[in-house]
Amino acid sequence: MTAQPLASGQRAATDSSSPWTSEEGREFLQERLATFSRFIFFVASGVFLAVWATQLAWDPGALDHGLPIRASALFHLVAVTVVFTMWMVTRGGALSPGRLRLIESLGVFLISIALVGRAFTLSITLRPDSLAMLSLFVLLLYRSAVVPSEPARTARISILAVALVPVLTFIVYSRAARPDLPSPWLFTSFSLVFAVLAVTLSTTISGIIYGLRQTVREARKLGPYTLVEKIGAGGMGAVYRAQHALLRRPTAVKILPPERAGEMDLARFEREVQMTALLTSPHTVSIYDYGKTPDGVFYYAMEFLDGIDLNELVHRDGPMPPGRVVHVIHQVSEALAEAHRSGLIHRDVKPANILLSERGGKPDFAKVLDFGLVKSLSSSNAGTTERNVILGTPYYMAPEAVRSPDQIDARSDLYSLGATAYFLLTGKAVFEGTSADILAALLRDRPQPPSQRLGRPIPASLEELLLKTLAKHPDERPESMEAFGKALASCRDVTPWSEAEAAAWWQSRRSLIAAARSDSTDPATVPTISIGRNAPLPQEPGRTKIRNR
């Protein structure tokens, strides 16, 4: 499968032994560290302002003589500065897990030193040991609740944070030499008890939260695959980037949600993987594995493709030159021709289901995706295909799919591929409007020639071939996908799209590809819609399921 526009760029393989080496885990860690820093900053700043305001209320004339700069105030400002710096750094660009851990460890240590210093520069009558432990309790317990951390690491950080308190307590109370005070050992003992309590509580909280997160990670395992991040969704399930327990090759896993695991959906899902696995064209997505988890989740694993689908490419970069359209569509025709020879029709050929990538050092390598609506021409698919139901995407649907959806054949894929080529050339669908408008135009209107739609000439042989492919009746189209591919290759007035041009395009569009990968909107993921007799057609044509009655 593919990262498509929903993917987040090229990332390193995930080490399933650590939750922070994946991009998802790293982003979560950085976001949590920023949240922690922001909260502590506002708390520390609020306390500082509250103390200042209290002092002014107690002594209104302090401003006339200038507020005294005390050591406790300086330590407090240091704490505020450190935590503010942590916040600014972590809310910026992406940081590596190692750097995030260093920032966290160093930041918490410096903040704790500043808080302890602030407390112990106050008068002994204010119980500096108690103030120090109260500050550290807030710091350490909130960190354990918010920042994901292994329990052992939390214990180490907490011990370093509280270690100075018992030592300073003994020193300060010993030097006080006041007969009205109990033995310094008593205060030191209390400090030690509360220090141990702070370490124990923070470590326990980290252990609970870390364990819950590990449980969630385990729940995201399907057989030997660990789901890393969601990269797409469609009518027949969601797709995730995944990591195999032993193999290091990039993998995508498609799962059938439990709520869709009815008998018909399950049979269709199983047929999709079985039929796709029969195809060996390099331009068809490869299937690796298929399985079912003990709790009844069905899935299959396929190759992970890092690239951009044609729908996103045209919307971001504009219409393609004719030579490139011929180059891409010819590859797709090879994949579909093999499917047709195997007795399979795709039924949802469209730009969003064709992905371009760089494969084996070759740019503009096309892959056909999503055989979720595949139909076998050699069997009735009993129990898996509803009768009198229109399946497909209106923009690229063949007229016969509207007139008689049970009678479609390989020439319907041919029409859809022609409509896809039309979109690549012009940047617009053959017919546009609401689903009702499109379905009516499919049965009634002749397509406008691509050159008129584009507003400039295109090679005459290519335009003639596409208009023939978009004929209303299947008999008027090329007789087969192989015949279409040969006709496409024989368009002599089309300037060929060279490998050097393709390489130059990919080199100059790195930012375009990266933007497409990070985009969270994918027209291919519009849910399947079932429309009854009196229900309105959808206003935004995606993949549509319409019941004829």
Residues acting as catalytic residues: 348
Torsion angle of alpha carbons 198, 199, 200, 205, nearest 10°?
Answer: 90
CA angle 415, 352, 255 (to 5 degrees): 115
Three-state SS string over 370-435 comes to CCCCCEECCCCCCCCCCCCEEEECHHHCCHHHHHCHHHCCHHHHHHHHHHHHHHHHHCCCCCCCCH
The H or E element spanning position 270 is helix 263-277
For the purposes of burial, counting CB atoms within 10 Å of the CB of 292, is it exposed (0-12), middle (13-18) or buried (19 or more)?
middle
Closest by CA position to 447, among listed 426, 456, 458: 426
Which residues are within 8 A (CB) of 466 and not within 5 positions of it... i.e. 6 or more apart? 418, 421, 422, 425, 450
Strands 530-531 and 544-547: parallel
Among left, alpha and beta (phi > 0; psi -120 to 50; other), residue 397 is beta
Amino acid at 152: A
Answer for the pair 421, 464: CB distance below 8 angstroms, yes or no.
no
Dihedral (C-alpha) 226, 229, 234, 238: value to the nearest 10 degrees? 20
d(C-alpha 486, C-alpha 286), whole Å: 25
Question: CB burial class (10 A; 0-12, 13-18, 19+) of residue 276?
Answer: buried
Going by DSSP bridges, is the β-strand pair 344-345/298-303 parallel, antiparallel, or unpaired?
Answer: unpaired
Q: φ, ψ for residue 10 (rounded to 5)?
A: -75, 130
Query: Using alpha carbons only, what angle is made at residue 540 by residues 539 and 542, rounded to the nearest 5 degrees?
Result: 130
- Residue the block writes with tokens 């976001």: 31
